[in-house]
Every structure is written in structure tokens, then in C-alpha cells.
Amino acid sequence: MYINRSRSRYFDFTGTLLSLIMIIFLSISCTKSDEDPEPPSKVFNPTPYNLIIPQGFPDLDIPSDNPMTEEGIALGRRLFYDPILSADNTQSCADCHSQAYGFTDNLKKFSTGIDGIKGNRNSMAIINIGWMPFLFWDGRANGLEAQALGPVPNPIEMHLTWVEAANKLNAHAEYPDLFFKAFGTRKIDSTLTTKAIAQFERTMISSNSKWDRYLRGEVQLSQAESKGFEVFFTEKGDCFHCHTTILFTDNLFHNNGLDSIFTDRGLFDVTLDENDKGKFKTPTLRNIEYTGPYMHDGRFESLEEVIEFYSHSVKFSPTIDPLMKKVNQGGIQLTDEEKENLLAFIKTLNDPDFIENPDFSNPFEND
């Protein structure tokens, strides 16, 4: 039987070549699929968030490079409560800013970081913080995004470099997808992380205290609260100069007469201006009953102590604010009745809805 060996070799070669082509094609297809950063089924399409500004509140400036979205806020809320941003995965932002206490530090005088080291200032409340142009007691951060950069690498607080924090987030099973939904990229860095946290914090608005409801004509003040209002908003108590506007803060810095000699120089450490020694940021009085202890160093445990200080214990120093009255007498010299009435009015600034709002709560507790 005659066999055409050249024709046989041709078919063998052709079959082998086709097999090689098929293997290469399948290999390229699989590689492309594995390396595809974004499957067609997932499209970056964030949902704009309409932040409702309460009646009587000023307009809120939102950075043009960080528009608010539902995805960004949800991501920021998760990051706020996730201890992943600390070096040993034990401490989150919420550990120093507890919702039950107006997002302060659970009645602690000084916060304690992951290494057991205490700071030297009381945690400031996160309340209507979107309207605050300068953050921290000494105003060293300009805006929420800048403020959120500080606690993570701080050696007393979370003690983690931002490079390490970004690596942890990038290696996480869920965060790359969540960042894509919020910002259109899976490459996570400190800028996007702080933008998300800032978006969440801008939603943390308190506007339904008894005082707010009184202004809306929904309730009436008691006699003691009305008299306390007069103390607060007149020269008698003189509280309104610093705790002004509907935000109950002027967002400025004052030496309010706590000390004659400064162990903490406050704003001076930022500006190096001698006139700024002993000046600290005016805190909001909203939800103030929940946010003790009080002052930058938490020296007063109760509001009664705070009122007593302004009444009889103010101390003179060269940089004391001119707004502080009757310094030579130790303060504004309130009577016991006036103190009680002032306290009654200040408590009308409590907003239980704010500290119970599920939108601000820990999302991991609902998982």
C-alpha cells in the first residue's frame, strides 16, 4: 500500500500548529480576563447626595474636589468605625469620638492611644463640624480633609503611617471595590481615605434640640430656661460673644482666663505669635451636656463647674481676651439662681436625635 509521507507530515504539522494557536489564544484570553481591572458589569456611577441644610443654618462650603455621594458617605462611615486604620487593628476614630457622648471620648479627660499613651488634650466633639474652617483645639488643620490626616500617623493615637494604612486597605477583600464605587479607582491612598471620612462627618448635623424646636414654634421654654436665655444673651452672662450664631461657636480662638501661666500654649504653637498664647478654639455648646469633661484639658467634669469658673474663677494673663468681663473680680459674678437658670437654658441645646441617629452609628454592628 502506497503512503504519501510528505502529505502525512503536512497534516501532522498543520494539526500541531492549530493546536499551538488555540493554546496561545486561550492563554491570552484568560490573561486579559485576569488582568481586567474593571469587569463590564461594574460601572463607576456614584449617587449624588443632597445634604439638607437646616433652617437658619449658614450655607455649607463643600470642596469642589470632594462632592458628596451616597457611596462616599457610606465608605467614610465604615472607615470612621474600622480599627484597620490603627497599627494593631484595635482603635478606630470612633474610639475617641463616641456617638453616645456627642462624638467625644466617653467622659475621659485625655484619650489613650494604641500603645497605652495618653494625649494632653480632651477630644473635641464632632458636631456640625462641616461649618468649622479650623480643626483641633489649636486650629492646626484647615478643613475636615486635613484634620482626618492627623490621627492615623500620630504616635500617641493610631500610630500607623499612611503608606502602611493604604497597603492594608488595598489588600482588604472589600475596600478596593468600595473605593471604586465612591471614587472610580481601586488604588487607595490617604487622600481618598480622608475625603471619604470628611464626607461622612459633613452629614453629622445636629439641629433638633429643644432650642431648635422653640425657634420653629413647636415648643415653649420653661420659666427657668427663658431666664437662662436672658443671662446667656445679655451682658449679665456674656456667653453669646463667643458662643454665637445658631452654631453656638464663633469658630475663633480665645484665652478665656483658665490660667495665668500656660503649660499648654494652644494657638501659639501653630502661629508662633506671642499674642496667641493660651488661646484655644471655641467649642460648640450644642449637645454640651453629653460632651464632658470640659475645656481643652478636660479640667472640669460638670457644667456646674464651668459656670462657676466663669462666674468667680477667671484668671488674668497678658493675652486674656477683651471679651472676658470683670476679670479683676474673678468673673461675671452670677447669683445661684442665675447659674441654675443658665444651666437650664444650656441644656435646651441637647439633641437626643443626634446621639441616637442610626445614620451615624457603627455599621459593623448591623452587619
Instruction: Kindly state the DSSP code that residue 49 receives in the 8-state scheme.
Output: -
CATH code: domain 210-353 is 1.10.760.10
Residues of the chain with CATH 1.10.760.10: 70-205, 210-353
CB-count exposure of residue 48 (10 Å: 0-12, 13-18, 19+): exposed
| Joined grid coordinates for residue 357 | 441617629
Cβ(157)–Cβ(91) under 8 Å?
yes
* Amino acid letter, 79: L
CA distance 137 to 293: 14
Residue pLDDT tens, the chain, 367 long: 443 444 444 434 444 444 444 444 444 444 433 444 444 347 899 999 999 999 999 999 999 999 999 999 999 999 999 999 999 999 999 999 999 999 999 778 998 999 999 999 999 999 999 999 999 999 999 999 999 999 999 999 999 999 999 999 999 999 999 999 999 999 999 999 999 999 999 999 999 999 999 999 999 999 999 999 999 999 999 999 999 999 999 999 999 999 999 999 999 999 999 999 999 999 999 999 999 999 999 999 999 999 999 999 999 999 999 999 899 999 999 999 999 999 999 999 999 999 999 999 999 997 5
Q: What is the pTM of this model?
A: 0.87
Specify whether the backbone of 13 is left (phi greater than 0), alpha (psi in -120 to 50) or beta. Answer: alpha
- What is the CATH T-level fold of the domain 70-205, as seen in this structure? Cytochrome Bc1 Complex; Chain D, domain 2 (1.10.760)
CA distance 181 to 70: 10
Instruction: Kindly state the DSSP code that residue 328 receives in the 8-state scheme.
Output: G
Cβ(284)–Cβ(247) under 8 Å?
yes
Please, what is the end-to-end C-alpha distance for the chain in angstroms? 78
Nearest alpha carbon to residue 123 among 140, 106, 141, 139: 106
